[in-house]
Chain A
Amino acid sequence: MSKKIGVYICSGCGIGDALDVSALSKVATKEYKAPVCKTDAFLCGKDGVDIIKKDVAEEGVNYVVIAGCSGRVNYDVFDFGPSVVLERVNLRERVVWTQEPDDEDTQAMAEDYMRITLAKLKNLEAPVPFIGEEVSKRIMVVGGGLAGMTSATEAAAAGYEVVLVEKEESLGGWLKKSYKIAPLSPPYTNPEETDLAGRIKKIEDNPNIKVYTLASIEQTAGSPGMFDVTIKQGDAAATERVGAIVLAAGAVPYDPGKLEHLGFGASPNVITQAQLEELAQKGCIARPSDGKAVQKVAFIQCAGSRDQEHLSYCSAACCVESIKQSLYVKEQNPEAAVYVFYKDIRSSGQYEHFYKKAQSEGVIFIKADVTGVSDDGGNITIEADDLLMGSPTMADEIDLVVLANGMVPATAFEDPALGGEAQAEVAAGSDQAAPAPAPIIKSNILNLQYRQGPELPSLKYGFPDSHFICFPYETRRTGIYAAGSVRRPMDMAQAVEDATGAALKAIQCVEMSARGMAVHPRSGDLSYPEFQMNRCTQCKRCTEECPFGAINEDEKSNPLPNPTRCRRCGTCMGACPERIISFKNYSVPMVGNMLKAIEVPEEDEEKPRVLIFACENDAIPALDMAGINRLAYSKWIRIIPVRCLGSLNLIWVNDAMSKGIDGVLLMGCKHGDDYQCHFMKGSELAGIRLSKVSETLDRMGLESDRVYMTEVSIMDYDKIPKIVGDFVDKIEKFGPNPMKGF
């Protein structure tokens, strides 16, 4: 189908007052020969939209360019169906709301943005979705504890078939070991029955849920929509095709053997929370040493957690668990004295009511650092620094001490049977600079057939990495969603919520994959990377750098892309030295054409040009917000949005410099341990690639500081004028790029 471009310029919202719209039209019609170019004062109104619809229907316009407001607004108004390619020229937020009206430099900026967009169309096609073969919408849940059972029932209730895999002989996980659980429903004041039998029955009675017990996963091959999971049950093996996976493998208590300083091991009357559950299940909370019913019980919180010597994180559930167990003691004997030695009581959400309940039952909470636990013939003395009293304190004649010993995710343990060191995600020994590798611990849970390693990459402490703020359930393996205490330490109420959320994400994933669409964060994106294999040099950069492990390798190191694993960030495209990776609507030549379309004034005009590559996820919204807040910034800049700084190909910097552009600024997201990058590693990789640019610039005889990368979060909109201004000032000090006019 031939390309027919229609350009529609809106003069509303002050655009017509600030700009010479007819001169702008001439850029489209004379320079870029757009066959249709119309102007309207209210393009997002019904009449305005109808003009475009009419041209699409009657004139065969199939590439629509709207010059007006930001593409982040009115996207629902300007929707002309999947067959029409739509591009937006942001004249409002990016030009007239930040620049002097009726000024030749403002006009030049607007005309450049028109050129950039029209140049983009040269290499832009409507994407054709990738549809896999035998796509499955079934969901596999790994782990049959509270979280896994919840995910399974929730997904099944939404009409999806579920395969539930549990390593033990029956479902229940931690519930099996509990006397009661913390309340999951109002008024959140009393421990609840575990209802284990009821929960299991609900699963067994559901024809949509298939349960494998005493089972393990031998391998997980394929990709979202087409995972082939080999499940081992004894000697038998079965393969299930599923569309998405919920990982609910849970956590285990922290090893109390390491808590000798709190008396564990030295006295039988110092026990763990799990041991107290056992005692309560047996019907009497008694001293292990002599079976005497307890009169005085002390709980020691953060036994191992929030302790640099042990677990540096908060295990999140232990406060609520101790509150619950203190109520067991009070239930058995209301006159019993119960002390809870704590650092901070973290009974978040509705568990504030539970905490109050324990207080009103007379449980005494002491904010203290425990300094010693000693046993004198079964009677235990706790010495502590009471932080509120500001003095050393002691409690004696204690019958039972319960250590709240925290939790460690199942994914944190290397399976000794598999042997070998934890594998780094990115191949070690590479001579290239690379981001710190995310460890992949061979925990023998999923056994992924992925080039980058068999399990989920972790960030810290063995928990699977995810974007904790924006999309918590996403792991760094598309279609695999972590839920419950394997994802982060959490209590049961949170685990139920988590499991429900992850089930929903899994459902979204199977539906999107079946339609050839990307999942979060580029939800609905139909484009995917295509490889021009005859030019591939088997350098492995794409297979190593993909933050999502989307690309496998054959034995000759050829990349084997898995489009449904892909999040469409373009990191592979940025990595490829041969530039063989392109999307239908995003490619190296396309952006190259865009930046080449910028008109660079002659040196003697003293009008510098600074190109900004801005990340679409945070920097672009921040730039829009700067405009919405009418924050004026430099008139010398030209902005080109990128999917992620990870997609930045160094050739663009080369091209910009060769063209005579005076400086290049990269705006990306925060990286590091508390990264904000929506594609985890994109901005970090861009930073590393950039370090290599200085050599190139030196060769060209240019100052390496002409190219600079900065972190911009969505909240930084008020800093935009300064960030831009400081960089432009620096470039002006360097003087014009000597390549101008070559």
Chain B
Amino acid sequence: MTDLNVSSEPVKYNPDFAKEIYALESGEHVKLCMQCGMCALSCATREEMDYSPRKLFLLMRVGKREEFFKANTMWMCSTCLMCKVRCPRGIPLADVMHDLKSHAIKLGYTERPQATFYQSFWQEILNKGRVFEGGLMARYYLKRGWSEMTKGLFEMRDLGMTMLKHNRMPLKSPKSIKGLKSMKQIIERAQAQMHREEGR
């Protein structure tokens, strides 16, 4: 847990940053947070987070933009949906976390391994229309660089061997889907539509 009290100087409230978050796809809902902490209590990965979702929303309200995006909170979310089910204000927290991930990627906050994983996964979709686990792993470790790759491979070596032994990890990549091109066109159009809506 990171202490919110970063300095003894009074923190000045800046209402502008909150507006940036409210403008995200599910951002409107965040306005309704009443700081009850049910999300923190419900979260399966709460202990891994720099700030619980509640505290992250607090940072947003105060206007601490940099701390907000540097926090690992959204990246630790595993989409188990417990917070979304329990939130007394009906905030779809898992959806908000996804908004924050894509927003963070867009802003260039991509240094976390989870961001690399997400980007690799997406590339794998765009590459074949389906996700081939072997391909995903290769992309992920290539992007993370050599040192992490060897470290990762060392840690995962036994696992990989076992999976191979049980035919759980095909080495050969399946073929791309036939409609790959049209799928990508659909996605591009959807992204264009979204940008248009955001521009309004």
Q: Do chains A and B touch in the complex (CB under 8 A)?
A: yes
Residues of chain A touching chain B, judged by Cβ–Cβ distance below 8 Å, are 337, 339, 345, 355-356, 359-360, 362, 364-367, 383, 386, 388-396
CA distance A246 to B152 in the complex (A): 79
- B residues less than 8 Å from A388 (CB atoms): 35, 55, 58
Closest residue on chain B to residue A336 by CB atoms: B15
Residue contact B31 to A389, C-beta cutoff 8 Å: no
Residue contact B13 to A394, C-beta cutoff 8 Å: yes
Contact partner, A359, options B3, B19, B32, B55, Cβ 8 Å: B32
- A residues less than 8 Å from B4 (CB atoms): 389-391
Residue contact B13 to A359, C-beta cutoff 8 Å: no
Closest residue on chain A to residue B18 by CB atoms: A364
CA distance A362 to B33 in the complex (A): 11
B155 to chain A, nearest CB (A): 37
- A residues less than 8 Å from B147 (CB atoms): none
B56 to chain A, nearest CB (A): 12
Say if the beta carbon of B47 comes within 8 Å of chain A: no
Closest residue on chain A to residue B3 by CB atoms: A390
Closest residue on chain A to residue B59 by CB atoms: A389
- B residues less than 8 Å from A359 (CB atoms): 31-34
CA distance A390 to B6 in the complex (A): 10
CA distance A223 to B45 in the complex (A): 68
Contact with A along B170-189 (1 / 0, CB 8 A): 00000000000000000000
Say if the beta carbon of B28 comes within 8 Å of chain A: yes
23 contacts between A and B (CB under 8 A): A345-B34, A356-B89, A359-B34, A360-B28, A360-B31, A362-B22, A362-B31, A364-B61, A365-B34, A366-B61, A386-B11, A386-B62, A388-B55, A388-B58, A389-B58, A390-B4, A391-B8, A392-B10, A393-B10, A393-B13, A393-B62, A394-B13, A395-B12
Say if the beta carbon of B5 comes within 8 Å of chain A: yes
Contact partner, A394, options B3, B5, B8, B10, Cβ 8 Å: B10
Residue contact A396 to B12, C-beta cutoff 8 Å: yes
A527 to chain B, nearest CB (A): 52
Residue contact A389 to B12, C-beta cutoff 8 Å: no
Q: Which of B26-50 contact A (CB under 8 A)?
A: 28, 31-35
- A residues less than 8 Å from B58 (CB atoms): 388-389
CA distance A622 to B133 in the complex (A): 68
Ordered nearest first, which 8 A-B pairs have the shortest CB separation? Answer: A391-B5, A394-B10, A392-B10, A395-B13, A337-B15, A393-B11, A359-B31, A390-B5
- B residues less than 8 Å from A364 (CB atoms): 13, 15, 18, 61
CA distance A388 to B13 in the complex (A): 13
A409 to chain B, nearest CB (A): 30
Overall SS of chain A's interface:
strand
Closest residue on chain B to residue A365 by CB atoms: B34
- B residues less than 8 Å from A392 (CB atoms): 8-11
CA distance A360 to B29 in the complex (A): 8
CA distance A452 to B61 in the complex (A): 57
B35 to chain A, nearest CB (A): 6
Please indicate which of the listed interface residues A355, A365, A383, A386 has the most CB atoms of chain B within 10 Å of its own CB: A386
Residues of chain B touching chain A, judged by Cβ–Cβ distance below 8 Å, are 3-13, 15, 18-19, 22, 28, 31-35, 55, 58, 61-62, 89
Residue contact B10 to A383, C-beta cutoff 8 Å: yes
Given contacts A337-B15, A355-B34, A362-B19, 20 further A-B contacts (CB under 8 A): A345-B34, A356-B89, A359-B34, A360-B31, A360-B32, A362-B22, A364-B61, A366-B61, A386-B62, A389-B62, A390-B4, A391-B10, A392-B10, A392-B11, A393-B11, A394-B10, A394-B11, A394-B12, A395-B12, A396-B12
- A residues less than 8 Å from B19 (CB atoms): 362
- B residues less than 8 Å from A345 (CB atoms): 34
Closest residue on chain B to residue A367 by CB atoms: B35
CA distance A662 to B61 in the complex (A): 70
B174 to chain A, nearest CB (A): 47
CA distance A258 to B95 in the complex (A): 48
Closest residue on chain A to residue B28 by CB atoms: A360
Closest residue on chain A to residue B19 by CB atoms: A362
- B residues less than 8 Å from A395 (CB atoms): 12-13
- A residues less than 8 Å from B32 (CB atoms): 356, 359-360
Contact partner, B11, options A339, A356, A389, Cβ 8 Å: A389
B108 to chain A, nearest CB (A): 27
Q: A360-B28, A364-B61 are in contact. Are A393 and B12 (CB under 8 A)?
A: yes
CA distance A262 to B34 in the complex (A): 25
CA distance A458 to B199 in the complex (A): 62
CA distance A362 to B28 in the complex (A): 9
CA distance A359 to B30 in the complex (A): 9
CA distance A366 to B18 in the complex (A): 14
Closest residue on chain B to residue A338 by CB atoms: B15
Closest residue on chain A to residue B5 by CB atoms: A391
- B residues less than 8 Å from A355 (CB atoms): 34
A308 to chain B, nearest CB (A): 26
- A residues less than 8 Å from B7 (CB atoms): 391
- A residues less than 8 Å from B8 (CB atoms): 391-392
- A residues less than 8 Å from B89 (CB atoms): 356
CA distance A360 to B31 in the complex (A): 6
CA distance A359 to B22 in the complex (A): 12
- B residues less than 8 Å from A389 (CB atoms): 4-5, 11, 58, 62
CA distance A396 to B15 in the complex (A): 12
- B residues less than 8 Å from A394 (CB atoms): 10-13
Please indicate which of the listed interface residues B9, B18, B35, B55 has the most CB atoms of chain A within 10 Å of its own CB: B35
Closest residue on chain A to residue B12 by CB atoms: A394
- B residues less than 8 Å from A390 (CB atoms): 3-5
B162 to chain A, nearest CB (A): 47
- A residues less than 8 Å from B5 (CB atoms): 389-391
CA distance A367 to B55 in the complex (A): 13
B72 to chain A, nearest CB (A): 19
CA distance A356 to B33 in the complex (A): 9
- A residues less than 8 Å from B10 (CB atoms): 383, 391-394
- A residues less than 8 Å from B33 (CB atoms): 359
B39 to chain A, nearest CB (A): 14
Closest residue on chain A to residue B8 by CB atoms: A392
- A residues less than 8 Å from B28 (CB atoms): 360
CA distance A364 to B12 in the complex (A): 14
- A residues less than 8 Å from B22 (CB atoms): 362
- A residues less than 8 Å from B12 (CB atoms): 393-396
CA distance A390 to B8 in the complex (A): 10
CA distance A356 to B4 in the complex (A): 26
- B residues less than 8 Å from A362 (CB atoms): 18-19, 22, 31
A201 to chain B, nearest CB (A): 39
- A residues less than 8 Å from B55 (CB atoms): 388
Residue contact B34 to A339, C-beta cutoff 8 Å: no
CA distance A683 to B42 in the complex (A): 48
CA distance A374 to B28 in the complex (A): 33
A383 to chain B, nearest CB (A): 6
Closest residue on chain A to residue B61 by CB atoms: A364
Closest residue on chain A to residue B64 by CB atoms: A389
- B residues less than 8 Å from A339 (CB atoms): 13
CA distance A390 to B18 in the complex (A): 19
Residue contact B31 to A366, C-beta cutoff 8 Å: no
CA distance A365 to B7 in the complex (A): 22
- A residues less than 8 Å from B34 (CB atoms): 345, 355, 359, 365
A372 to chain B, nearest CB (A): 10
CA distance A365 to B33 in the complex (A): 10
CA distance A366 to B10 in the complex (A): 14
CA distance A509 to B36 in the complex (A): 45
CA distance A396 to B10 in the complex (A): 11
CA distance A388 to B28 in the complex (A): 22
Q: A356-B89, A360-B28, A364-B18 are in contact. Are A391 and B35 (CB under 8 A)?
A: no
CA distance A445 to B18 in the complex (A): 51
CA distance A536 to B28 in the complex (A): 77
- A residues less than 8 Å from B6 (CB atoms): 391
CA distance A393 to B32 in the complex (A): 22
CA distance A185 to B115 in the complex (A): 48
- B residues less than 8 Å from A396 (CB atoms): 12
CA distance A698 to B60 in the complex (A): 74
B96 to chain A, nearest CB (A): 15
